[in-house]
């Protein structure tokens, strides 16, 4: 779609002569109009809606505007604005983007994927909407995350939009306000857990390979802590896949940690640091696990031994072996539950933990 850029000869050939104003405009002139209109919007959510409507009617112009104004547009198509857009997704919905698969589609996922108009898909970002940013369980409203993430892959990495596919796995939601909202567009039921849900993810990933080829990238995005780690372990050796929250964030954080080793006066080896994490969610555990992997390669020790240098603080305080014995730690925290008998004092508040543990590096 060239918008108002079709020549008069092209308009006659396409039988759109008279259906657009007379002027033949360059892409630059059309871009100037769209940018002026965007900047007239009163708030970021309205700007997001405007950009999505522009995408619906002229994909070329949308990406030109975003690429040429990336500093201005990135916070609009992705964080932080996409959070508000997701919360309102069912209310501001105008045109579907991507594929929607529900727990009720088990057994028919391949047929649904075959409805996509192109088979030349290289990158799929999929979410079940259970842990969207810091906003909690948004259900199908979380579709804004795969859509926005892939738009940045196109705008910043040059992946053709036609090779990108956003997907939401609709497994219900635990959020009451959505279950009671007549405009909510997802399944109005509580989430299905356990084997039935895991089987749906397996069917989805297997079907993606069958439809789009064995090398198609399958990126987990914003799954809940209770499922993210297990699903990654079950699938990572059989599919071209990664979890952005666990592994993507970890890569960037590790790069920062390695760069910090050049600071004068700091230990120059990762293995010589005692690292304390404030927070033990997907991102934190993912970063800690990758740092342990880096230490194991740097020093030739096992990852289990490397993890001894890395400690975590969650909402209950320092994660320790003693806590694991007396209470039920979530499975992803257990590898970092160390013996803390050598440390005295109250190991609940961060300040007290820092005084006792004396970390050389804090990540939070």
What six digits make up the tokens of 146?
């795969």
Q: Which of 48, 78, 184, 239 is catalytic?
A: 78
What six digits make up the tokens of 25?
């405009």
> In degrees, to the nearest 5, what angle opens at C-alpha 121 toward C-alphas 197 and 92?
65
Q: Which of 47, 89, 97, 149 is catalytic?
A: 149
Distance (Å, rounded) from C-alpha 147 to C-alpha 77?
9
Strand-strand pairing, 123-127 and 99-102: unpaired
The secondary element (H helix, E strand) that includes residue 235 is helix 225-235
Is residue 223 within 8 Å of residue 128, measured between CB atoms?
A: yes
- Is 149 labeled as catalytic in the residue annotation? yes
Distance (Å, rounded) from C-alpha 247 to C-alpha 266?
26
Nearest residue to 146 via CA among 116, 119, 168: 168
- Is 78 labeled as catalytic in the residue annotation? yes
The secondary element (H helix, E strand) that includes residue 101 is strand 99-102
Q: What is the 3-state secondary structure (H, E, C) of 11-80?
A: HHHHCCCCCCCCCCCCHHHHHHHHHHHHHHCCCHHHHHHHHHHHHHHCHHHHHHHHHHCHHHHHHHHCCC
Strand-strand pairing, 99-102 and 241-243: unpaired
Residue 1: CB partners within 8 Å, gap ≥ 6? 57, 58, 59, 60
Is residue 106 within 8 Å of residue 203, measured between CB atoms?
A: yes
Phi-psi region of 242 (alpha: psi -120 to 50; beta: other; left: phi over 0): beta
Distance (Å, rounded) from C-alpha 194 to C-alpha 271?
38
Sheet harboring 164-170: ordered strands across? 99-102, 164-170, 123-127, 217-220, 241-243
Distance (Å, rounded) from C-alpha 58 to C-alpha 232?
37
The catalytic residues are 78, 149
């Amino acid at each position: 779609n060239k918008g108002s850029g079709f020549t008069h000869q092209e308009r006659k050939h396409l039988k759109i002569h008279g259906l657009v104003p007379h002027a033949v405009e360059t892409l630059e002139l059309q871009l100037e109009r769209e940018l002026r209109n965007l900047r007239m919007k009163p708030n970021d959510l309205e700007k997001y809606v405007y950009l999505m409507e522009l995408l619906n009617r002229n994909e070329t112009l949308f990406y030109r505007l975003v690429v040429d104004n990336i500093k201005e547009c990135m916070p609009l198509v992705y964080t932080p604005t996409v959070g508000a857009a997701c919360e309102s997704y069912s209310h501001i919905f105008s045109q579907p983007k991507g594929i929607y698969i529900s727990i009720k589609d088990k057994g028919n996922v391949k047929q649904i994927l075959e409805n996509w108009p192109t088979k030349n898909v290289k990158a799929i970002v999929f979410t079940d909407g259970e842990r969207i940013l810091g906003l909690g369980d948004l259900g199908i409203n979380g579709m804004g995350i795969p859509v926005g993430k892939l738009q940045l892959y196109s705008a910043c990495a040059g992946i053709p939009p036609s090779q990108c596919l956003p997907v939401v796995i609709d497994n219900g939601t635990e959020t009451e306000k959505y279950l009671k909202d007549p405009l909510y567009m997802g399944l109005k039921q509580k989430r299905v857990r356990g084997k039935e849900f895991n089987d749906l993810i397996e069917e989805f990933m297997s079907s993606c390979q069958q439809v789009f080829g064995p090398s198609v990238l399958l990126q987990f995005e914003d799954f809940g802590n209770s499922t993210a780690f297990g699903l990654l372990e079950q699938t990572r050796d059989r599919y071209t896949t990664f979890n952005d929250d666990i592994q993507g964030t970890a890569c960037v954080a590790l790069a920062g940690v390695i760069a910090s080793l050049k600071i004068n006066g700091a230990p120059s080896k990762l293995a010589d640091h005692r690292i304390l994490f404030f927070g033990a969610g997907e991102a934190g555990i993912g970063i800690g696990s990758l740092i342990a992997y880096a230490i194991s390669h740097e020093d030739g020790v096992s990852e289990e031994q490397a993890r001894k240098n890395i400690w975590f603080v969650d909402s209950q305080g320092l994660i320790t072996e003693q806590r694991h014995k007396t209470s039920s730690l979530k499975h992803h925290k257990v590898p970092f539950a160390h013996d803390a008998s050598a440390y005295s004092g109250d190991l609940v508040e961060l300040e007290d933990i820092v005084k006792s543990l004396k970390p050389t590096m804090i990540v939070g």
